[in-house]
């Protein structure tokens, strides 16, 4: 038997204990439309911050034996707009601007003169599907060296022939598995897969890996973040 207390006092005690839970009502803010938007935006930004903190430059994405690679025909083609923006391969160059020592137009041959890296890695789509494919290209880090990119610049952004645009953090750009990809399955990139050049980043989700590259910019601030990010997706989305 515990301490004696009269009924009224017990009611008061119960009420005080109940009132302690009022902070839970703060969730109601999520039901208010303008607040909801900014709260979810803050949530996404915190999530991106945490994702960047979790990213380890030396940690490699798993690479797989050829046995695990799906047939080329089963590697999905996901464009946001068109499957073929009609790039003229003869005239194609990658236009480099921003915080670099050697801006200008770079040909595919120049990019292909860099050491080639081939890798079987998992492609993860934001929708939830994943597929292991085989990719080949030049390390973006090698290319950034070639153009004399300022390593203290924070971002690498790209623009594409289909008006898609994307940007990534410098740490991911310098990651040894981040490729300027011009090959899939040991064959030149096909048009639906982003010919002549796309980003292939096994440490990022699919929509970060832009196709049909035409422009590359190294910068300290971002003019534009990314097509899907502007619709509300996460910017960092590291895997």
Partner 1 sequence: MATRTLTIEDARTGELNEAVYEHPFVVRLCHWVNSVALFVMAGSGLQIFRAFPSFGAKIPEKDLINWPRSLAIGGWLGGALQWHLTFMWIYMATGLLYLGYQLFSGNYKQVLFVPRDVPGVWPMVRHYFFFGPKPPLKEAYNPLQKHAYTSALVLGVLSVLTGLVIWKPVQFSWLGWMMGGFHWARLWHFLILWAFMAFVFGHLVMVVLHGWNNFVSMLTGWKKDPEYRSE
- Could you say whether residue 31 binds partner 1 (CB under 8 A)? no
In the list 49, 107, 129, 223, the residue contacting partner 1 (rule: CB under 8 A) is 129
By CB under 8 A, is residue 101 in contact with partner 1? no
Q: Which window, 39-47, 105-113, 154-162, 184-192, contacts partner 1 (CB under 8 A)? A: 39-47
Query: How far apart are the C-alpha atoms of 42 and 149, rounded to whole Å?
Result: 31
* DSSP calls for 52-88: HHH--TTPPPP---GGGSPPGGGS----SS-S-----
**Beta-sheet pairing, 179-184 with 198-200:** antiparallel
* Residue placing its CB nearer to partner 1 in the complex, 131 or 222: 131
Which of 141, 157, 203, 214 is in the footprint of partner 1 by CB under 8 A? 203
Q: For residues 194 and 83, give the distance between their C-alpha atoms in angstroms, rounded to a whole number.
A: 8
- Size of the chain, expressed as the number of residues it contains: 239
Total residues at the site for partner 1 (CB under 8 A)?
57
Residue 88 vs residues 84, 141, 196: alpha-carbon distances, Å? 11, 26, 9
Which residue of 47, 112, 116, 190 would you call a contact of partner 1, by CB under 8 A? 47
Site residues for partner 1 per CB under 8 A: 1-8, 10, 13-15, 17-18, 20-21, 23-24, 27, 39-44, 46-47, 51, 54-56, 59, 61-62, 70, 73-76, 122, 124-131, 202-203, 228, 231-234, 238-239
């Amino acid at each position: 038997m515990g301490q004696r207390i009269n009924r009224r006092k017990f009611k008061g005690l119960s009420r005080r204990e109940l009132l302690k839970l009022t902070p839970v009502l703060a969730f109601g803010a999520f039901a208010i439309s303008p607040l909801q938007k900014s709260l979810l935006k803050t949530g996404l930004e915190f999530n991106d911050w945490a994702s960047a903190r979790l990213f380890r430059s030396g940690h490699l994405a798993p690479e797989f034996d050829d046995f695990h690679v799906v047939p080329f025909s089963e590697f999905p083609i996901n464009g946001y707009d068109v499957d073929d923006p009609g790039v003229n391969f003869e005239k194609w160059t990658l236009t480099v601007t921003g915080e670099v020592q050697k801006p200008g137009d770079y040909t595919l041959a120049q990019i292909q003169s860099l050491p080639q890296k081939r890798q079987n890695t998992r492609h993860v789509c934001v929708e939830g599907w994943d597929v292991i494919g085989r990719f080949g290209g030049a390390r973006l880090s090698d290319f950034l060296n070639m153009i004399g990119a300022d390593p203290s610049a924070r971002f690498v952004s790209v623009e594409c022939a289909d008006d898609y645009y994307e940007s990534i953090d410098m740490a991911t750009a310098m990651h040894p598995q981040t490729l300027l990809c011009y090959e899939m399955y040991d064959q030149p990139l096909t048009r639906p897969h982003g010919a002549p050049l796309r980003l292939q980043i096994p440490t990022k989700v699919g929509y970060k890996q832009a196709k049909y590259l035409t422009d590359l910019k190294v910068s300290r601030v971002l003019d534009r973040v990314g097509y899907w990010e502007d619709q509300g997706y996460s910017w960092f989305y590291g895997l």
